[in-house]
Structure 1
């Protein structure tokens, strides 16, 4: 009976977490829609790859968002961040999709609840940034994906 209750509680928790994520836009989004929605962001942000190729030409008021998903908070070299987001970055936080969505919804609240204090330099809030975050993830460096598949070949397989 105890195993059944534990299984049932775990199943309910997993189902609730999935329902919350789906209902709040965390972790799910449409990159095609996000590309269009990013137009609101490019007044301040650009997406330029490591080789200097512009994926999306944009402003320089905000940091370059190339590779932002999975990058440590406030870590673009040479960018002048505000004190609040720098304090969040000092916690070691990494921009996971759900955190980017949370930040875009209320940047100042995000800073205040994640180790910093004070206003964000981001001038507006985005009601649901899940599509934009999905777009940003879709134009991320391929190195992260390559690392995930760069395991040693199985025994007995040929290598190049």
Structure 2
């Protein structure tokens, strides 16, 4: 662990080290205070805290310190990690940075939407053109079908006339031998 005076320490590490240092100072201060109360005599000539009470109090302070110190160190490291992730040596506040990123993403989504919309309009226009072309070809096919039907009718009429002519010739040939 870096010391409080380590010039290479980040501000978070320095603050964490100060917190740990002050917690140690307070713990030692409480222990010294309890010991002092055990040695100072009261108005009746007896110590303010009896020997047994001093021992119990010191044990309690020691037990609390053993429990609190690792929690304090872990919490201090966690807080430093959170601060490092939040600030992360950026010159901007995290909220402003997030708002800027959000605005950039919204702008990209709008651009993408506009691009898709433009392409969709182009595809729709092309599709309408294909429909018109198919409609014209369909109309042409219908017209050609009608013309073919007329030609077929005309051919049938011509075939009937030719058949009648052929029958008439045969009759004429039979009647003029």
- Bin for the TM-score computed over the shorter chain: under 0.3
TM-score if structure 1 supplies the norm length?
Answer: 0.22
Which of 1 and 2 has higher RCO (CA within 8 Å, sep 6+)? 1
Q: Which has the higher helix share?
A: 2
TM-score if structure 2 supplies the norm length?
Answer: 0.20
Larger radius of gyration: 2
